[in-house]
Amino acid sequence: MIEVPVVDMGGKQQGTLSVDEAKLGGKVNPRLLRDAVVMYEANQRVGTVATKSRSEREGSGKKPYRQKGTGLARAGSIRSPIWRGGGRIHALKPRDYSYQMPRQAKRLALRSAVLAKLQDGEVAVVDKLDLAEAKTKLMAAALKTLGIDGTCLIVLPKADEKIWKSARNLPQVRVSAVSDLNAYDVLLPKKLLFTKDALNQFLGVPA
């Protein structure tokens, strides 16, 4: 069992939350995490590269000069890839790099990613995250009070517009609902900030 301190917004400890490692797969699976990260990064690739082959280059199709007697290497087209301004050999074309892992594999990767963060002490749990109004200044002050410095992913039980608006202008902070979590988003930041309800929901603990 991993014991995680639960604090209030003032940074004072209110208790602890016990996390059963068995619910998160028991141990971290590095190979599965690597596969998940490669997949999510491949899915972000735009793939809009494009170069012209010899058939797409402008220019005459006429033989530039006679075959023999010039002392030059024989040539059949000014669009040849070996000529300046000619087409490209194996011209690159737009392509889709995206692919998907099995759903169960993605779920296991997500649990493994959260377990890795828990074991490294990079998970903080706050009793509740509530701001008086949607202001970036209030969110920055709350994170500073909680001792969170650097990149952070705030995990909520469900989408909260006030929290999202408060955090969107902080370049190192992102907000996600439990239902939208994935292994890549969990591994990317230095710190995870769960609300108590969000962590219980992720672990499948009844409210």
> What would the pLDDT profile of 85-105 be if each residue is shown by its tens digit?
999 999 999 999 999 999 999
Domains of the chain: 2-45+99-203 (3.40.1370.10), 47-96 (no CATH)
* Euclidean distance between CA atoms 18 and 1, whole angstroms: 6
Is-contact 129 156, C-beta < 8 A? yes
Contacts 24+ apart (CB under 8 A), 128-134: 128/8, 128/9, 128/195, 128/196, 128/197, 129/9, 129/154, 129/156, 129/163, 129/193, 129/195, 130/9, 131/162, 131/163, 131/166, 133/162, 134/161, 134/162, 134/163, 134/165, 134/166
Indicate the pTM of the whole model. 0.81
Output DSSP code: residue 149.
-
Give the pLDDT mean for 63-70: 94
Q: 91 CB contacts (<8 Å, ≥6 apart)?
A: 50, 51, 52, 53, 56
Q: What is the band of 207 on the pLDDT scale with cuts at 50, 70, 90?
A: low
What is the per-residue pLDDT for 105? 94
Question: What is the share, in percent, of the chain residues with pLDDT greater than 90?
Answer: 62
Burial of 14 (0-12, 13-18, 19+ CB in 10 A): middle
**Helix, strand, coil distribution of the chain in percent, nearest 5:** 35, 15, 50
What is the per-residue pLDDT for 61? 83
Give the pLDDT mean for 142-150: 88
Q: 156 CB contacts (<8 Å, ≥6 apart)?
A: 129, 163, 175, 176, 177, 178, 195, 198
Q: What is the band of 128 on the pLDDT scale with cuts at 50, 70, 90?
A: confident
Give the pLDDT mean for 45-70: 92
Is the predicted pLDDT of residue 206 greater than 70, yes or no?
A: no
Average pLDDT, the chain: 90
Question: Which range, of 11-25, 32-46, 143-157, averages the lowest pLDDT?
Answer: 11-25
Is-contact 109 186, C-beta < 8 A? no
What is the per-residue pLDDT for 63? 93
Is the predicted pLDDT of residue 1 greater than 60, yes or no?
A: yes
What is the per-residue pLDDT for 12? 84
What is the per-residue pLDDT for 49? 93
What is the per-residue pLDDT for 26? 84
